[in-house]
C-alpha cells in the first residue's frame, strides 16, 4: 500500500501535511488523504501570485498580502507584493528581495494579482494581472513577462541587475486577469480571464469589466537579445471560455495523449453562479465533456494530477478553495448558492470506460484553506507529464508527494466572510 506525504505552506506559515494512501490491490488509482499541520514563521502572507522553480528554490512574484478583498474596495497598492520571495525548499528558509529598481512597465505587472503563468524548463512566463499604480490608477496590464530562472538565480546570488533575466512584450491580447496559462506541445495557451478597468466595486454596473471569452494559442521566439510572439490560433466561445479564477491543467485523455482540461470557474453570463461544465482543449480545437458537472471546486485552488496507465485512469485532485457545493459535518453533499469557502478534498476522474466521475474524500482540509494557493510536486516524484504524477512508478509505501503553499485563509467559522462583511478577518 504506497503511502504519499504532502506538505502545505499557508500564508501565515501554517503547513499542512497530506498523506495519500494508494491501494495497489486491483485499482492502482485508489488513494486517500489525511492531514497534519506545522508552522513556518517566515512564510509571507501571499495569495494569487506567480511562481517558478529552479533547482531547489521557488521564486515567487506578485499576488496579495491582505486576504480576500472587501465588497467596495480592494487591490490597493498597499496590499500588493512588490518583492521577490525565494523559498529554499531544502532549508525552508525564505528570503525576499526589493524589486523597486525595475521600471514601472515591468514592476506593475510583476507585482499584480490574478496573473496567469506557466513554466517551460527554466523559462517562466507571466501574463496580465490587475493592480494599482503609484499614481492611484487601477488597471489590467497588457504584458507578457519572460524570466530566465537560471539567469535570475545568478542575479540574486551575485546582486546583479534583474533586467538581465527579464524580457517583456506588450500586446492587448495579454490584457487579462484571472486567466489560465499552460504550455503544451511547444505552444502556449492563454484561456479565459477578464479585463477590469478602474477600482473594484461589487456592483458590476459600476465598473468596466469585459470577459475575454477566448482561448489564444501562441508560440514565443526567444533570441539572445529579443523576444517575439507568434499568434497561431484563437477560439472564441462564450460558454467554455467566459470564466475567470478557475483551474486549467494538463490531463491525460488516452495513453500518451495529453490535452488541457478547463474546469469550472466564475461567473455565468446572466447569473452569479459558477460554471459547472468542463471542456478539453488542444491545438486541434476544444470539446465539451458531456453529461458531467463539477460541483466541489469552482474557484482557483491548489491541485495535482495523478495518472495510472495500468488502471487507465486519470484524476485531478482539488484541495479546498471555494465552491457552491461542499461536504457538511454529517459527511453528505450540501449546497450554498453564495459559493462559500470549503474544506473539501475532491477528485475528478476519467475512468477506464471513458466516463467522468467526481468524488470526495472523507478526510478534509483542516480549515478553510486552498483558495488561490498553488501545489509544488516534490522533485523526486516520477511524472507522466508536467503536473501529472505517474502513479504506477510509485513503489515505496510512504512517499513525500509535494507541497501546497500560499492562498487565502479564512480563520473564521463563517464560510461566507465576504457576503457577511468579514473580509478583513481573512488572511
How far apart are alpha carbons 141 and 128 in whole angstroms?
5
Left if phi > 0, otherwise alpha if psi is -120 to 50, otherwise beta: which for 366? alpha
Q: Is the pLDDT of residue 360 over 60?
A: yes
- Among residues 180, 101, 105, which one has the least CA distance to residue 142? 105
302: β partners = 319
Question: DSSP letter at 177?
Answer: B
**Do 394 and 12 contact (CB within 8 A), yes or no?**
no
Please count the other Cβ atoms lying within 10 Å of the Cβ belonging to residue 398: 12
pTM of the complete model: 0.94
- What does DSSP assign to residue 424? G
* pLDDT at residue 21, as a whole number: 55
| Burial tier of 112 (Cβ tally within 10 Å: 0-12, 13-18, 19+) | buried
Instruction: Kindly indicate the confidence band of residue 104, based on its pLDDT and cuts at 50, 70 and 90.
Output: very high
Convert the pLDDT of each residue in 231-268 to its tens digit.
Answer: 999 999 999 999 999 999 999 999 999 999 999 999 99
pLDDT in the model for residue 24:
39
- The mean pLDDT value for 50-58 works out to 97
Instruction: Yes or no: say if 357 and 313 are a contact pair by the CB < 8 Å rule.
Output: no
* Model confidence at 408: pLDDT above 70: yes
Which residue reads 516524484 in cell numbers?
A: 381
Q: Where is pLDDT greater, at 36 or 20?
A: 36
Q: Residue 15: what pLDDT?
A: 43
CA angle 275, 279, 282 (to 5 degrees): 140
| Mean pLDDT value across residues 301-327 | 95
The β-bridge partners of 367 are none
Q: Is 255 exposed, middle or buried (0-12, 13-18, 19+ CB in 10 A)?
A: exposed
Residue 206, all three cell numbers: 459600476
pLDDT score of 395:
81
Residue 6 confidence (pLDDT) = 58
Percent of the chain with pLDDT over 90: 69
| pLDDT tops 60 at residue 329 | yes
Q: How far is it, in rounded angstroms, from Cα 52 to Cα 181?
A: 13
Cell numbers found for residue 17: 501535511
Residue, of 157 and 16, whose pLDDT is higher: 157
Is 60 exceeded by the pLDDT of residue 26?
no
Residue 160 has pLDDT above 60, yes or no: yes
Amino acid at each position: 500500500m504506497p503511502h504519499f506525504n504532502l506538505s502545505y505552506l499557508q500564508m501565515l506559515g501554517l503547513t499542512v501535511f497530506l498523506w495519500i494512501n494508494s491501494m495497489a490491490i486491483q485499482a492502482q488509482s485508489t488513494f486517500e488523504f489525511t492531514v497534519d499541520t506545522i508552522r513556518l514563521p517566515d512564510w509571507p502572507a501571499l495569495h494569487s501570485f506567480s511562481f517558478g522553480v529552479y533547482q531547489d528554490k521557488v521564486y515567487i512574484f506578485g499576488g496579495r498580502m491582505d486576504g480576500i478583498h472587501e465588497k467596495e474596495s480592494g487591490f490597493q497598492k498597499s496590499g500588493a507584493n512588490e518583492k521577490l520571495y525565494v523559498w529554499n525548499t531544502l532549508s525552508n528558509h525564505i528570503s525576499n528581495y526589493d524589486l523597486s529598481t525595475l521600471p514601472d512597465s515591468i514592476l506593475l505587472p510583476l507585482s499584480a494579482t490574478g496573473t496567469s503563468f506557466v513554466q517551460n524548463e527554466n523559462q517562466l512566463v507571466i501574463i496580465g494581472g490587475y493592480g494599482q499604480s503609484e499614481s492611484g490608477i487601477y488597471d489590467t496590464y497588457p504584458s507578457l513577462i519572460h524570466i530566465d530562472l537560471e539567469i535570475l538565480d545568478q542575479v540574486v546570488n551575485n546582486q546583479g541587475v534583474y533586467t538581465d533575466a527579464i524580457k517583456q512584450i506588450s500586446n492587448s491580447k495579454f490584457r487579462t486577469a484571472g486567466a489560465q496559462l499552460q504550455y503544451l506541445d511547444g505552444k502556449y495557451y492563454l484561456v479565459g480571464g477578464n479585463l477590469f478597468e478602474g477600482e473594484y466595486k461589487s456592483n458590476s454596473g459600476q465598473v468596466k469589466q469585459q470577459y475575454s471569452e477566448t482561448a489564444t494559442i501562441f508560440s514565443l521566439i526567444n533570441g539572445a537579445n529579443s523576444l517575439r510572439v507568434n499568434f497561431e490560433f484563437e477560439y472564441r466561445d462564450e460558454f467554455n471560455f467566459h470564466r475567470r479564477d478557475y483551474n486549467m491543467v494538463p490531463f491525460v485523455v488516452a495513453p500518451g495523449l495529453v490535452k488541457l482540461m478547463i474546469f469550472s470557474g466564475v461567473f455565468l453570463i446572466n447569473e452569479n453562479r459558477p460554471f459547472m461544465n468542463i471542456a478539453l482543449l488542444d491545438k486541434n480545437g476544444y470539446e465539451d465533456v458531456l453529461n458531467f458537472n463539477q460541483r466541489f471546486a469552482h474557484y482557483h485552488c491548489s491541485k495535482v494530477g495523478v495518472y495510472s496507465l495500468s488502471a487507465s485512469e486519470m484524476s485531478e485532485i482539488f484541495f479546498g478553495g471555494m465552491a457552491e457545493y461542499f461536504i457538511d459535518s454529517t459527511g453528505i453533499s450540501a449546497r450554498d448558492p453564495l459559493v462559500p469557502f470549503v474544506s473539501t478534498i475532491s477528485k475528478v476522474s476519467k475512468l477506464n470506460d471513458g466516463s467522468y466521475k467526481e468524488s470526495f474524500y472523507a478526510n478534509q482540509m483542516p480549515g478553510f484553506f486552498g483558495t488561490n494557493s498553488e501545489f509544488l510536486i516534490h522533485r523526486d516524484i516520477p511524472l507522466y507529464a508536467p503536473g501529472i504524477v505517474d502513479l504506477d512508478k510509485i513503489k515505496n509505501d510512504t512517499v513525500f508527494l509535494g507541497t501546497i503553499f500560499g492562498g487565502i485563509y479564512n480563520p473564521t467559522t463563517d464560510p461566507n466572510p465576504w457576503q457577511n462583511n468579514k473580509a478583513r478577518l481573512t488572511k
